Amino acid sequence: MPHPVTFHDLTDVEGIPPALLRRTESDLSVFIERVKPIIDKVRTEGDAALRHFAQAFDNVSVPDMAIRATEEEFDDAFRAVDPEVVRSIEYGIANIRRFHEAQKPEDSWMVEVRPGLWAGDRCLPIESVACYVPRGKGAFPSVVNMTAIPGKVAGVPRLVIITPPAPDGRVDPGTLVAARLIGVDEVYKCGGAQGVAAVAYGTETVPACAKIVGPGSPYVVAAKRLLSDILDPGTPAGPSEAIILTDDSVDPEIAVLDLLIESEHGPDSSAWLVTSSRRVAEAAIEALPRHWAQMDDRRADFSRAVLGGAHGGVILTRDFDAAVAFTNAYAPEHLELLTSDPMADLGRIRNAGEVLLGTASPVTLCNYVLGPNAVLPTNRSARTHSPLSVHDYMKRMSFARVAPEAYPEAAAHAERFARYEGFTAHARAVSSARPMPTLVRR
């Protein structure tokens, strides 16, 4: 009988098998074709299309569902959520806010690049941003915290949340509690591709936004891609993924517990234990079925599907150098570094959305309460992209001013550039006499 855990022994393999670097969302073509008619219907029918898809995809039984969450729903949410859970949401909000406040850039800066030549940047919040909060495999007030708090810190004038409704036509209570505690009052009941289309085009109720942030299913990712010419899709954030990277020093039970964190997200997740220790690899494979038996049945099924499939399991490498090389090539969303000296090994990691150092820093803590953002680049995009941050809710606008005494020299150089590149008007603009303003210094 085959073992239920996928195992790759790479100790005698040269290089990295390309198939091991693939994610479940690598081919979006089928999803792109499926979301095209959804997007078109929202564009042409607005709110009516959102209600139609809420019934079709979210099993909503309320034909005249209010698309925007009402004040009554916010009030009911605080009555429905356990006060201890509210306290935990508040604890996470405080830590996440403090981290992102430290990230916020100066409003403006200026440098004198040469005597009389001044240049700088202004940092301004984007005017409107939609935060996507998924619902399909659970309820995620933590995603509200991660997407809305940096927007509030950045000073975004209009910050809205879109999220799929429950069958009763209401929003998850924890999501509403988190939104209210953060200060977001606009919560709209539209998820999936239809939600993305709603904030791209706007409907009678849902405002068109300049940008969307937050993780989502392949349908959400496909819709973001299709609509990227009118809606900034933000950091690529698809199905969740992680690598647990270990040497021989780790307790295999800890490695298994942390591997299960990622694999229980859903069957479209990716989760690997990558180790240079045969002892750790074999012990982990043996321990996993025992842990599955102690999990919620639904989450255990998700985990078995991931760790027994093509996108998860255990990888044994020739040595720790090879384990690091695989990890950098994979560029995971989450990386746990469970080694004898994780701070020293951190310097060897180049590609990861986040790196959690040591056994006291499991993904669970960072997902909820540590402070760094848990909306991270997926599908190898950590090679060039960064975690969601305050910077994603802001834009830079450069400015420059030239003092009259510095103008002649700068103009002479600019004229030479213009004539070399064949731009006659450019050259004439700086070769002709022009009145010099009085430079006011403040």
Catalytic member of 25, 100, 334, 354: 334
Residue 127 known to be catalytic: no
Residue 334 known to be catalytic: yes
DSSP 182-207: HT--EEEE--HHHHHHHHHH--SSSP
Tracing tokens 């430290």 back to the chain, one arrives at 102
Q: Work out whether strand 334-338 and strand 312-316 pair parallel, antiparallel, or are unpaired.
A: unpaired
DSSP 370-418: SSS------TTGGGT-----GGGGEEEEEEEEE-GGGHHHHHHHHHHHH
Beta pairing partners, 398 = 121
Tracing tokens 């990230």 back to the chain, one arrives at 103
Residue 106 in tokens: 């100066």
Positive/negative CA dihedral, 412, 414, 418, 424: negative
Catalytic member of 25, 73, 241, 333: 333
C-alpha span between 220 and 194 (Å, rounded): 9
**Burial profile 125-143: b = 16 or more Cβ within 10 angstroms, e = fewer:** bbebbbbbbbbebebbbbb
HSE, CB side, 13 Å, CA atoms: give it for residue 142. 18
**Residues tagged active-site:** 333-334
